[in-house]
Structure formats: C-alpha cells, structure tokens
Amino acid sequence: MAVPAEQSAQTGRPTRADAVRNRARLLEAAARLVAQNGVEHVTMDAVARAASVGKGTVFRHFGDRSRLLMALLDQAEQGYQASFLTGPPPLGPGAPALDRLEAFGVATIRYLLAHRELGLAAAPPPERRFCAPPVAVRRAHIVSLLRETAAAVDTELLAESLLAYLDTALLNHLVHRRSIPQERVEAGWRDLLKIARSSG
C-alpha cells in the first residue's frame, strides 16, 4: 500500500516539499524500527517496508545505511544542541561559564549514552573522529566557555582532553563494559573541571 508522492500541478514531477515530507516519513519509520527492534535490525530494506515505499527511494534519500543512521541521530542532536546554545541556564546562556561547562558535560554524557546504539553504529571512520560536525560543535562550545573562565591553562588543549571524555565509545566502554555507574562517570566530569577552577 505505497502512498503516492504529491506532485506539482505544473510538471507532474515531485516538488521540493514532497521530498522534504518523504524524507521525514522515512526517518519516522526508521526511528520506529530502532525503538522496536534495536539499531542492528534497521536496514534500508526494513525502512522501505515500514514506510511502504520502494527500497530505491530510501537509497535516493540517504545514500547508505550509515548516513541514514546519522540522519536519525541528527534529529536528537538538534534538540541537544539547542539545549546548551539557546536553552535555559545553567546549560544555556545566563549562568557562570564553569557552571555551564559542568551542566554541559553532564547533559552530553546523558545524551550520548541515551543514543549510544545509534551513535556507535553511525560513528565516522577514525580519520574523521575529530572533525565530525557534532564534535566540532561540542569543541567550539567547550573552548568558548573555557575562555570565559580565564583559567591559566592551554584552553585549546584542555578542550581536547575534555572532549575526549565526552566520547560515545569511551562512555559505552566505561558504563556498559566496565559497569561503572553513570552517576560516577558524571562526577568524573566534575573532577576534570577542577583544572579550570583551581587555576582560574
């Protein structure tokens, strides 16, 4: 029971609005599949079936499975980014920089662990680990807050070290392989900020 795409009255061809709508429908179907069966069962085929479209349509919209998973994560990523860029303090603007950094680390640990299956499955290849857009946004945020603290440390390098702690693969290793409670991992983030506090 394939749902026909709306078409432009002039050309008879799908419009840009159709494409946006169809992409959203495919993402909804994929998100449903992840929730139901786990990310390992989400294939291009399964998404096509769930959205009642041909497999070719899914490939046309996303290119490959990894990009589809990244697009799924992108929806959550937008909400997460909004929370620290424009949300209420202490995560958003309006609180002292160190309080914002503390809230940011805790929020990031929770966000990454909550989406860890998708995050691990959509992880970029090693050479792009430090350049992926979500990582670049986190880096810029940490650097800008560290500069506000005027801590007597190398801001850029401390940012890399803090950023390395906020890594899905590391958090997954700590919490799900070594069974370290998530609260303890969050407290570990506060420990790291002592560098900025003690020398500020």
Task: Please give the residue ranges that form the binding site for a copy of itself (CB under 8 A).
Answer: 120, 123, 126-127, 129-130, 153-154, 156-158, 160-161, 164-165, 167, 169-170, 173-174, 177, 180, 184-185, 187-188, 191-192, 194-195, 198-199
Which one, 6 or 156, has the nearer CB to a copy of itself?
156
3-state helix, strand, coil in the chain (%, to 5): 70, 0, 25
**Nearer Cβ to a copy of itself, position 90 or 119?**
119
Least separation in angstroms between CB 65 and a copy of itself? 16
Q: Which is nearer to a copy of itself, 50 or 146 (CB)?
A: 146
- Spell out the residues 6+ positions from residue 108 whose beta carbon is closer than 8 angstroms to its own: 80, 138, 166
DSSP state of 177: I
**Taking the complex as a whole, how short is the minimal distance between the CB of residue 110 and a copy of itself, in angstroms?**
16
List the end-to-end C-alpha distance of the chain, in Å, as a whole number: 63
Cα dihedral across residues 72, 35, 66, 116: positive or negative: positive
Please state the closest distance from residue 90 (CB atom) to a copy of itself, in A: 22
* Closer of 41 and 173 to a copy of itself (Cβ): 173
Q: How far is the CB of 192 from a copy of itself (least distance, A)?
A: 6
Mapped onto helix, strand or coil, the DSSP state of residue 115 is: coil
Of residues 74 and 186, the one with the C-beta less far from a copy of itself: 186
Classify the phi-psi angles of 92: left when phi > 0, otherwise alpha if psi is within -120 to 50, otherwise beta. Answer: beta
Question: What does the chain come to in residues?
Answer: 200
Question: C-beta of 200: minimal distance to a copy of itself in Å?
Answer: 11
Contact 60, 80 (CB under 8 A): no
